[in-house]
Structure 1
Amino acid sequence: MHAYLSTTSQLLQSFRAYEIKQIPRSENSHADELARLASAINDKIGRKVPVEILAQPSTVAFETCAVRYENTWMSPIYLYLTNGTLPEDKAQARKLRYRSVRYTVINDVLYKRGYTTPYLKCLMAEQGDYVRREIHNGVCGDHSGSRSLAHKVFRQGYFWPTIHQEANSLVKMCDKCQRFGNIPHIPAEPLTPIVSPWPFAQWGLDLIGPMPQGKSQVKYAVVAVDYFTKWVEVEPLATITAAKMEDFVWTHICCRFGIPYAIITDNGRQFD
């Protein structure tokens, strides 16, 4: 359509004056009836509607769209993959070589590749802003959250480095999301990390189940995880009682790793 528009603009320059007018649908009934004439004619009647086939477009000039990566985050990666151009700084050049392994160039277009994902087309900031807004609040937009919006962009086959930060800022500035979104009533509080002083000093203990019944009618499992080494101890159980918990802690923790400094549970009755 852009080629037809440019050809039309060139032809209009040869006229002294012209007027472009859109015909409303109510005044276009004769053209609609003429368009439906081919399907309305009976095949047994000898009348025919002539059809002219254009072998080539009426526009002679062909336009090529060149992809430009000047002054964008893709510039150093694209130049290195196509021409082998590296920065003068050795540290930056080494970082660029490692970073460029995740990208490839196909038909002069930069793509990001992954182990479990298809090729993702790399976009500039302006293109990414359009894609992000179209997915979030476009015709089929559902005003999803920031994390869901970023994953939807990935599923559409696009990528740029700051997609998560820009998706989060878009959701925060969206008027409809702020008006009709769920309001969290929990007061903001920083997370409290649990740090173990040394290996096998602090364990987390919890139960899993009920699960599909196995041999000896076992359908539960007690799990203990060391906070320092992330070592896991598991035992299947048929019943979950305080005696079973005591036997598990003595056999799998105390006798193997020594008496722990602390055991963290969810205050279940079996751990009393």
Structure 2
Amino acid sequence: MSQGVLYKKNFCPDGERLLLVVPRTLRTRLLRAFHDDATAGHLGFYKTYERIRQRYFWPRMYSAVLSYVNSCLPCQQRKPATPPTSGLLHPLEPPRQPFDRVGLDLFGPLPTTTAGNRWVIVAIDHCTRYVETAALETGTSQEIAHFFINSILLRHGAPRILISDRGRSFIAQLLQDIFRACAVIHRPTTAY
């Protein structure tokens, strides 16, 4: 006690520190100042507790700060909702033969070439890593269909599985109809 004010001695690595013991009547006001005040920033429990703990003490302070921060209405309203847990990853089965499973992706837009092309389409065979590419003007489903028919279907045959992202051009009805007619299973990657 010093001049009628109660302190608690706190021993820490950098020496002894005196912590002001907060009376029960002032604890809520102190919590508001360290959490709700405009300069406090509605920090989370740990940061709020650490800031208070450096200068003040009262019995069961940890649980009081935890309860106060967890019951703060503005924090609860602004707290982002917990996203649903992701599902388990499923490994891809190994391809049975060359061009059994093909990955298809579009790259661009790039600076326009002298031929007027701005996109590159890439197909990769998952068995051999063989790559087919072509330059495209616009990357539309019509251009992708033309590439698929001429560079994949007529050269290597219809793949059993085709993997692509969910780009608008890849999920267009034209390509879905071509894949269905060729008995190709289209597996778009999961959206994120």
Same fold (TM over 0.5): no
Higher relative contact order (CA 8 A, sep 6+): 2
- Structure with higher Rg: it is 1
TM-score tier by shorter-chain length is: 0.3 to 0.5
